[in-house]
Amino acid sequence: MTDPARSPRRVLLVERNQDLATFARTSLATPEWAVDVKAGAATAVASAGHDLVIVGQVDASSEDDDVITALRRHARCPLIPLFRPSLWKSRAAVGLRASGPFLLAMADCRSRIDQHLRHALMPAGMGLDWGGFQITLKADLFEYEGSPLDLTEVQSAIASTLMRSAGEIIPKAVLQAQIFGTKPAAPTNVLEVHISRLRTKLRAAKTDIAIEHVRGQGYVLFWHPPLSKTPLPQPEPYLLVEGARVRFPELPG
């Protein structure tokens, strides 16, 4: 039950299709959070004070990747996709708003909103246990359920970047800049190749996370199967002291 003394969290939906935006707003709003709608990316960028931004289809005249980058810079809060690609294959059927796939996609989005508003994201620059993953970020060491994932340097960087913003849209240009930095421009498909190989290793390790591509927007790391009640893992940071893991509460003051 919502505390009457506490204002609902604010969620911003960016969607240019008015009918879809209206139905999505009705489907996603709860007493725990209020949903505002902006049809244009420019007005969304100018908005402030939201705890989460949900990105649907943005302006047809804009470069989607540039819009997402601008939203990330100005919103200062997580950006997540309205539709999980594996659940909602085509926007051509937006008129079928009572269809099973659409309602399933809306239920999944509500679940992801709840996860982001209730749980802190993974901090950067430290060793962590995150769900079944054991990660020493500075050493690019990834393990899952105690077994090394044998990730390359680039794959480790991709996994670290996406995990730190789990569930959020990371534009390809932003991801590529963070991974390759000031190195010479790589072939246009090199990021996709690394992500494909990373997905293969994650599947082989039978992890629950999936890296999906949202067309025209970027990549999203989903941390659980659709509609799962499993909460976003809470990061448990540690330091390596003489080869042993020491939890922060156990460190001397």
Per CATH, which fold does 127-250 belong to? Arc Repressor Mutant, subunit A (1.10.10)
Tell me which of 1 and 243 has the higher pLDDT. 243
Residue 18: band (very low, low, confident or very high) from pLDDT cuts 50, 70, 90: confident
User: What pLDDT is attached to residue 187?
Assistant: 61
Residue 53 near residue 80 (C-beta atoms within 8 A): yes
Residue in 42, 48, 239, 222 with CA at minimum distance from that of residue 131: 222
Residues of the chain above pLDDT 90, percent:
10
The 10s digit of each residue's pLDDT in 79-124 is 889 888 877 665 554 444 556 667 778 888 888 888 788 753 334 3
Please report the sign of the dihedral spanned by the C-alpha atoms of residue 90, residue 93, residue 94, residue 98: negative
Helices (H) and strands (E) in the chain, counts: 7, 12
pLDDT the model gives residue 72 = 76
How distant is the alpha carbon of residue 3 from its chain centre?
28
* Tens digits of residue pLDDT in 189-209: 888 999 999 999 999 988 888
What integer best gives the mean pLDDT of the chain?
Answer: 75
Q: In this structure, what are the phi and psi dihedrals at residue 129, rounded to the nearest 5 degrees? A: -100, 130
Percentages helix, strand, coil for the chain, rounded to the nearest 5? Answer: 35, 20, 40
Cβ atoms of 197 and 154 within 8 Å: the answer is: no
CA distance 89 to 101: 9
- Could you give the percent of the chain with pLDDT greater than 70? 67
Q: Which residue has the tokens 């996994």?
A: 159
- Output the furthest CA–CA distance in the chain (Å, rounded): 61
Report the alpha-carbon distance of residue 252 to residue 236 in Å, rounded: 17
The confidence score (pLDDT) of residue 213 equals: 93
Q: 15 — phi, psi (to 5°)?
A: -155, 125
- Please determine, for residue 1, whether its predicted confidence score (pLDDT) is greater than 50: no
The domain 9-118 is placed in CATH, from the list 3.40.50.920, 3.30.365.10, 3.90.1150.10, 3.40.50.2300, at 3.40.50.2300
Q: What is the pLDDT of residue 201?
A: 92
Give domain limits for the chain.
Answer: 9-118, 127-250
Identify which has the larger pLDDT, 59 or 227. Answer: 227
